[in-house]
Structure 1
């Protein structure tokens, strides 16, 4: 492949505020055995990139993403990575839609010129082991003109969706589908989705309905009309008393990416033998639960980060069969990432923000 030696990228120089995001020239990645080079066409914006930049994953943090962003003091945190120290300086960008332009091995030449999305959660020791690494948290990601990834994590997609729409899928929909897979959501279930207007929540509403289950969605009133278009059977305001609105022992499954002070109430809402799957804590990671409700009701509490093997191939099939729809709120040039993350934290949008290199 003939190409320039440098590319434009946003490099997160170190843990901190928006000033740590630097748009600059960097070397185009050199491929190692088993890798492919992707020309990035579009890259989605997620909470996790903001959290990683700020150091929110540190055990010292007990507040919400937004509260931490407002306080702006990030320097005292030492262990802000997911499970190990974040390798700053780092090119972030967890969601990638792009075209494969080069491969390290001839066996992968069939991928060249194919439009692909990247499975950003990678099970490094196989799917029987929960060890995992994430693009843009553990190694350089898609906030750049090019990114290199293992060929095993690249999935061609045959779809009429545009690049921005495909880039809205991997992190949010992968996380949501993984929760539904682990919680074994089936057609007969009633499912409560918390934070239904966010990226993971809105994906979960669609994916629950795709499975034929009944979905109750919790979202701010300003987003009720938008959530309704996703097929929610009942929509509640995030300030509602959920126990009064739904009743005790009323749902089979809770899908939660929010946490915060109301997390413990979900044990009351769940039926005996219910399942609660959680994958995030943007409203605050430290919660109160009554353990008696957990064990006396035989509730299964499921933490999910590592994506199981069927999850990403399932998503590709859903896209190609038009069984889900993308939700793109706004696009930005890559160099305007600070503006995109600022607007993202204001939570006035419905759908994903996407950056264009």
Structure 2
């Protein structure tokens, strides 16, 4: 008697989009590869939608030390469980969303496997395409806000508020009672005010720092979500109060010793991929918990999701989308429809 449950007969091979080697043009190849088999508590999932992220484009260009080539791209996926060992939850037929391991093959394929404890079941009133916008940006925002230890009434500065992380961070920071300041292009100011931002600055304004200080007063921000990195991180530390908190999404610049003594910042590094790279079962389960929180808020209409830009499941279309991801200048989330 079989201990494996599955929907129907499954194909032996599948389409997948991969980089044969890292390349500046982000040229992808379509491959035909074997459909994986789930082991232990893994689920075999028929992928419906994949959300694209800045990190996907960066690593497609630069490569990653843990990758084997050709490497299938993609980390944020939504799909339906089509095969699972008996007793493994969620079972066959469940629609799930998850953020996949940075170190393993990605999810831009017709089928993939994922440990059951890292997925979140998608409610019926959240569309699969909408669910695909949540993992990387939403989870990163939640981790960052936890590291910032926000209290009600704290002042929070979010760089690049119109990005995926910024949009979620604004909304969850307002839920926690913070006063939110952010930056964006002028055409996105109305959107960010609708999401709850109290003050929005034009990030291109040459007098940005002066205007921030005039609006905030002399005390400095209690907390900063640093989405850009580099010299911007140094500027953001200058804008903080003494012993404030900053959560950084990118590698740290070289700080002057005097600035570190004068501001004494509590610096937190946000690493969503670290849950997998550190082989931390607890952290991987937390991904599922954060997914549940994001889905619950979306299902109850308590957060607004980014506008979706549909992308075809082809090497050319995804390559163009990833280059667009790095170029910036668009607002919303690029989502690849793989099936469904």
TM range (shorter): 0.7 to 0.9
Q: Secondary structure at the match of 1:97?
A: strand
CA contact 1:195–1:257 (8 Å) conserved in 2: yes
Stretch of structure 1 that moved more, 208-217 or 244-253? 244-253
2:187 counterpart of 1:207: no
Asked if residue 91 in structure 1 is aligned to residue 56 in structure 2, the reply is: no
Alignment partners' CA distance in 1, 2:38 and 2:238: 52
1:184-333 equivalent positions in 2, closer than 5 A: 184-240=149-205, 241-247=207-213, 248-280=218-250, 287-305=253-271, 306=274, 309=286, 311-333=290-312
Q: Work out whether residues 47 and 80 of structure 2, in 8 Å CA contact, stay in contact via their aligned partners in 1.
A: yes
Specify every segment of 5 or more residues in structure 2 that has no aligned partner in the other structure, as ranges. Answer: 1-5, 276-282
Query: How big is the shift at 1:175?
Result: 0.8
Q: What is the rounded CA distance, in whole Å, between the counterparts of 1:89 and 1:296 in structure 2?
A: 48
Match of 2:327 in 1: 346
Answering whether residue 23 of structure 2 is matched by residue 42 of structure 1, we say no
Secondary structure in 1 matching 2:330: coil
Between the aligned partners of 1:18 and 1:159, the Cα distance in structure 2 is: 39
1:32, 1:179 → 2: CA distance? 33
Give the CA deviation at 1:321.
Answer: 3.0
User: What is aligned with 1:161?
Assistant: 126
Please give the alpha-carbon distance, in whole angstroms, between the structure 2 residues aligned to 1:16 and 1:262: 27
Following TM superposition, by how much is the alpha carbon of 1:287 offset from its aligned partner in structure 2, in angstroms?
Answer: 2.9
Alpha-carbon distance, 1:338 to partner: 1.4
CA positional deviation for 1:326: 1.3
Q: Is the 8 A contact 1:209 1:215 kept in 2?
A: yes
Instruction: Return the match for 1:142 from 81, 98, 107.
Output: 107
CA distance in 2, matches of 1:343, 1:299: 34
- Going from structure 1 to structure 2, the CA distance change for 1:172 and 1:327 (only over 3 Å counts) comes to same
Instruction: Give the deviation of 1:110 after TM superposition.
Output: 4.2
TM-score, normalisation: structure 1: 0.81
Shift in Å at residue 7 of structure 1?
Answer: 1.4
Deviation at 1:348, TM superposition (A): 2.7
Distance 1:19 1:198 in 2: 21
- Shift in Å at residue 166 of structure 1? 0.5
Deviations, residues 155-207 of structure 1 (Å, cap 9, x unaligned): 11214221111001101111111000111122221100001111212221122
The Cα RMSD (Å) is 2.0
2-structure distance, mates of 1:179, 1:351: 20
Cα distance in 1 for residues equivalent to 2:96 and 2:308 = 21
Which ranges of 4 or more aligned residues in structure 1 deviate by more than 6 Å?
none
SS at match of 2:50: strand
SS at match of 2:190: helix
- Contact kept, 8 Å, 2:82 with 2:92, in 1: the verdict is yes
2:33 aligns to what? Answer: 26
Secondary structure in 2 matching 1:258: coil
Displacement, 1:220? 1.8
Residues 10 and 23 in structure 1, CA contact (< 8 A), matched pair in contact too: yes
On the 8 A contact 2:74/2:108 being kept in 1, the answer is yes
Contact kept, 8 Å, 1:329 with 1:350, in 2: the verdict is no
Relative distance call for 1:231 and 1:195 in structure 2 (3 A) is same
Q: Does residue 107 of the first structure (1) align with residue 87 of the second (2)?
A: yes
Give TM-score scaled by structure 2 length: 0.85
**Residues 158 and 19 (structure 1 numbering): CA distance in 2 closer, same or farther, change over 3 Å?**
closer
